Amino acid sequence: MTLHHYLILAALLFCVGLMGAFTRRNAIVVLFSVEIMLNAANLNFIAFWRYSENPALLHGPLFTLFAIAVAAAEVAVGLALVIAVYRHFKTVDLESMDTLREE
């Protein structure tokens, strides 16, 4: 196994997430996709760390740890927003929430 395997895998996963974010219209699914992308990035971190000159610095795991924590916060807030939006628009369809105004 070399670094490139992991990088290409991460790129693939990232693009799967991107595809989801681009082609789905349900806000929650878009949230999934964002999670997938984040995790692909984490995979990259860990892979680079593993194949780095001195892994003893543990930069990769630390950064990934922080990224995971931030992602958790992001999910919580994102879902809360989705629910709030749902309460307002009565839908989580991204195409139908295209206004910033009350109407």
Which 70-99 positions form the footprint of another protein (CB under 8 A)? 70-77, 79-84, 86-87, 92-95, 97-99
Neighbouring-strand partners of residue 26: 93
Residues numbered 21-40 forming contacts with another protein, rule: CB under 8 A: 21-26, 28-33, 35-36, 39
Q: Least distance (Å) from another protein to the CB of residue 4?
A: 5
Q: Which residues are CB-contacts of 97 (< 8 A; sequence separation ≥ 6)?
A: 27, 85, 89, 91
Rounded distance between C-alpha atoms, residue 40 and residue 78, angstroms: 19
Does 41 contact another protein by CB under 8 A? no
Does 8 contact another protein by CB under 8 A? yes
Q: Least distance (Å) from another protein to the CB of residue 34?
A: 10
Q: Least distance (Å) from another protein to the CB of residue 61?
A: 5
For another protein, how many residues bind (rule: CB under 8 A)? 76
Phi, psi of 77 (to 5 degrees): -65, -40
Q: Is 7 within 8 Å of 47 (Cβ atoms)?
A: yes
Neighbouring-strand partners of residue 93: 26
